[in-house]
Amino acid sequence: MINKADRGFFLAGKEHMSEQRLAVYAPWDQRLLGTVAIASLDQAKDAARLAAESMSVLRAMPAYRRSEMLQAVARAIEAEKESLAAGIVAEAGKPLKAARVEVERAVLTFRTAAEEALRLEGQVLPLDFTPGSEGRWSLVRRFPRGPVLAITPFNFPLNLVAHKLAPAIAAGCPVILKPAPQTPFTALRLAELIYAAGEAAGFPAAALSVLHLENESVQALVESDESLRQVSFTGSARVGWELKRKAGKKTVLLELGGNAAMIVCADWPDIAGAAKKAVRASMGYAGQSCIAVQRVYVDRSLFHRFIAAAVEEAQSLVCGDPDEERTDVGPLIRPSDAERVTAWVQEAEDSGATLLVGAGRKDSLVSPVILTGTRPGMKVLDEEVFGPVMVIERFDGFDDALARVNNSRYGLQAGLFTRDAQQIFKAYAELEVGALIVGDTPTWRMDPMPYGGVKESGLGREGIRYAIEEMTEPRLLVMAL
């Protein structure tokens, strides 16, 4: 558990305090966990300048040193897995068993990055294609773009930070990290583990700063600081696309929202199993994941069986204190988010939707909700709920199901329950999503895989190897000897 703490921010490895402070509250009971110091815009610019200056040291740091450092961070996370999980429970309100899984995933993220640091491959290209080009050939290698401004959300305060920092270290890019204001303590602890591992490896402290910043400072830094070469943002679509508009010459990597859909076809043999998976993937961590199941389209012949199994599973979930081992559904991050979710559900009911499961709200805790009879125009269908809400609707014919999934401004991941190869490859070709998961929900993710969306769900891909590609650029060497 996090003890009440007053922390600063890390500017090039040194902790600084300031008079301007941000209070951090526990989502479950709203107790004060502590405060963190807010950095000024000038301090952020200093961090960017020092990051750029550290590039000369990073360029000279051999790949095996970066790999050893990343392995050391993975070991340090593993050694502190229980205290890190307890911290995630406290500041994010994530149920303990889910917090433990997040810590395990962060270990995998750093270990994978350690391996990828040794696999920054290039190409040899012959260039003797026309008369006069005899004897010419070339090398193509990837080089770090330069300093990255990384902005992370509250819902995975350890592993999504790891997905910014681990690939950057592997690629040789310095980072300024701006963690979510609701969950700063986990990011600060991870930074301490990185500094400790980096000291032995020759990693310059100036290559990592962790700054708590006001939104205006972030926007000004993105818009005006030319020493930053890339912005990597995970969060809401509205904020992400606004940052891209301001970024100018910087490259931008955006991992944004979604209202993930899944299709259950008539040939799927285990309808109850698919329903249980959908409910768990929708309601886990109170639906606060951009790939949480929100929309389920079920073949008409299976609809009532699926509904019955989903309702039974939702009613079996344990809601309450995230610090309890048995808890499945904990609080939303803020009471205001719980109010918004329940308002959207009520709006859908008032417009004709049928509430199948839903016992209401208490403070930040919203009980699992299942709706049917929704239609386009309802927020629970069109927008990203980011709460424990699932919509189940019938479809008539596979083309109808595909059209319903695509009828969204988002396109992150989708799930498909069928054993029909033709339908699988048709969905793969036609669904406008970054990934199609067959035989499981769209919530499934393995950290090394490419991860990202289309349409308003984002730009570029994460997943360690793919994030390294985003953070590096190819350079050509032509030999004419």
pLDDT in tens, 412-450: 999 999 999 999 999 999 999 999 999 999 999 999 999
* 104-161 pLDDT per residue, tens: 999 999 999 999 999 998 999 999 999 999 999 999 999 999 999 999 999 999 999 9
Q: What is the pLDDT of residue 1?
A: 44
Per-residue pLDDT tens digits for 88-120: 999 999 999 999 999 999 999 999 999 999 999
Nearest 5 degrees, angle CA 20-CA 237-CA 454?
Answer: 145
Length, in residues, of the chain: 481
- Whose tokens are 């199901």? That residue is 401
4 pLDDT tier (thresholds 50, 70, 90): low
Average pLDDT, the chain: 97
Mean pLDDT, rounded, for 181-210: 98
Residues 6+ apart with CB under 8 A from 107: 74, 77, 78, 81
Confidence of residue 3 (pLDDT cuts 50, 70, 90): low
Judge residue 369's burial from the number of C-beta atoms within 10 Å of its C-beta, 0-12 exposed, 13-18 middle, 19 or more buried.
Answer: buried
Identify the DSSP state of 365: E
- Quote the pLDDT of residue 339: 97
Q: Which residues lie closer than 8 Å to 454 by C-beta, 6 or more apart?
A: 411, 432, 433, 434
Homologous superfamily (CATH) of 5-256+457-480 is Aldehyde Dehydrogenase; Chain A, domain 1 (3.40.605.10)
Q: What is the pLDDT of residue 2?
A: 53
CATH, domain 261-447, list 3.40.50.300, 3.40.1640.10, 3.40.50.1460, 3.40.309.10: 3.40.309.10
Residues with catalytic annotation?
255
Domain boundaries, the chain: 5-256+457-480, 261-447
In whole angstroms, what is the distance from residue 127 CA to residue 106 CA?
43
Query: Are residues 389 and 287 in contact, defined by beta-carbon separation less than 8 angstroms?
Result: yes
Phi (first) and psi of residue 458, to 5 degrees:
145, -170
Strand, coil or helix: 274: helix
Residue 362 has pLDDT above 80, yes or no: yes
HSE (side-chain half, CA atoms, 13 Å) at 476: 9
What percentage of the chain has pLDDT greater than the value 70? 99
> How would you list the strands of the sheet with 175-178, edge to edge?
14-16, 9-11, 208-210, 175-178, 148-151, 230-234, 251-255, 458-459
Total Cβ atoms within 10 A of residue 269 = 8
218-248: string of b/e by CB count within 10 Å (b at 16+)?
A: bbbbbeebebbbbbbbbbebebbbebbebbe
**How many whole angstroms from its chain centre is CA 156?**
7
Of 2-6, 132-136, 357-361, 398-402, least confident by mean pLDDT is: 2-6
Q: Which of 420, 412, 424 minimizes the C-alpha distance to 454?
A: 412
Q: Which amino acid is at 369?
A: V
Measured distance CA(309)–CA(392) in Å, rounded: 12
According to DSSP, the β-strands at 389-395 and 295-299 are parallel
Tokens of 391: 């919509």
The single-letter DSSP state of residue 407 is S
Angle formed by the axes of helices 159-171 and 184-201, to 10°? 30
The number of beta carbons lying within 10 Å of the beta carbon of residue 11 is: 21
Return the H-helix or E-strand segment holding 47: helix 41-53
CA distance 61 to 274: 49
Asked if 10 and 191 count as a contact pair (C-beta separation under 8 A), the reply is: yes
Query: pLDDT digits over 268-316, tens only?
Result: 999 999 999 999 999 999 999 999 999 999 999 999 999 999 999 999 9
Q: Find the helix or strand (DSSP H, E) in which 436 lies.
A: strand 435-438
Whether the domain at 5-256+457-480 and the domain at 261-447 fall into the same CATH topology: no
Sign of the dihedral through C-alpha 353, 456, 170, 43: negative
Token pair 């009911």: residue: 349
Distance CA 434, CA 411 (A): 6
Contact present, 313 and 275 (Cβ < 8 Å): yes
Distance CA 181, CA 35 (A): 10
Answer for the pair 196, 270: CB distance below 8 angstroms, yes or no.
no
Q: Which residue has the tokens 């300031």?
A: 18
- Find all residues with CB under 8 Å of 346, minimum gap 6, and list them: none
Confidence of residue 359 (pLDDT cuts 50, 70, 90): confident
Q: Assess whether pLDDT exceeds 90 at residue 57.
A: yes
Q: How far apart are CA 86 and CA 447, in angstroms?
A: 22
